Amino acid sequence: MHSDSRNGWRRRPRVAATLVVAVLALTVAACSSTNSSAPSTTSGSTDSSKSSPASIPSSAFTDTTGLTSNSVRIGNVSTLEFGLFKGAAVGTQAFADYANALGGVNGRKLVVDSGDDQYAGAPNKQLTAEDIQKDFAMVGGFSLEDSFGATVLAANPQVPNVTVSLSPAANNLPNTFSPSPAVGGWQLGPLVFFKKKFPQDITHTAALIADQPSAEDKWVAEKAAMGSQGYKVVYDPTFDITQTDFNQNVVAMKNDGVKILFLEQMPENYAASVVKALNQQDFHPALVLGGSTYSENLVPDSGGASAIDGAYMEQNTALFLGEDAFTIPAVATFQTWIQKASPGFKADLYTLYGWLSAELFTQALEAAGKEPTRGSVLQQLKKITSFNGEGIITTADPAEKVPGSCYIIAKIVNGHYQRYQDPPITGQNRGYRCDEPYYFYPPK
Domains of the chain from N-terminus onward: 3-183+327-391 (3.40.50.2300), 185-322+406-440 (3.40.50.2300)
pLDDT tens digits, the chain, 444 residues: what are they? 333 333 332 333 333 434 444 343 333 332 333 333 333 333 333 333 333 345 899 999 999 999 999 999 999 999 998 888 999 999 999 999 999 999 999 999 999 999 999 999 999 999 999 999 999 999 999 998 999 999 999 999 999 999 999 888 899 999 999 998 988 889 999 999 999 999 999 999 999 998 877 788 889 999 999 999 999 999 999 998 889 999 999 999 999 999 999 998 888 889 999 999 999 999 999 999 998 889 899 999 999 999 999 999 999 999 999 999 999 999 999 999 999 999 999 998 899 999 999 999 999 999 999 999 999 999 999 999 999 999 999 999 999 999 999 999 999 999 999 999 999 998 889 999 999 999 999 875
Q: In sequence order, what E strands does 178-246 have?
A: 185-187, 205-207, 209-210, 233-235, 238-239
Q: Which residues pair with 314 in a beta bridge?
A: 290, 409
Mark 372-395 as b/e (b = at least 16 C-beta within 10 Å).
bbbbbbbbbbbebebbbbbbbbbb
Q: Which long-range contacts (CB under 8 A, 24 or more apart) does 48-52 make?
A: 48/402, 48/440, 48/444, 49/183, 49/184, 49/185, 49/401, 49/402, 49/440, 49/444, 50/397, 50/400, 50/401, 50/402, 51/172, 51/400, 51/401
Residues in CB range of 244: below 8 A, 6 or more apart: 273
Closest CA to 263 of 190, 165, 197, 192: 190
C-alpha span between 263 and 349 (Å, rounded)? 16
pTM score, two decimals? Answer: 0.84
Cα torsion 383, 385, 391, 392 to 10°: value is 90
Cis, bond preceding 442 (omega within 30 deg of 0) = yes
CA distances from 4 to 120, 125, 143, 358 (A): 10, 18, 17, 33
C-alpha span between 232 and 151 (Å, rounded)? 41
Residues in CB range of 50: below 8 A, 6 or more apart: 397, 400, 401, 402
Helix axes 86-101, 349-367, angle to 10 degrees: 40
Residues in CB range of 88: below 8 A, 6 or more apart: 76, 78, 140, 141, 142, 350, 351, 353, 354
Closest CA to 84 of 12, 171, 168: 12
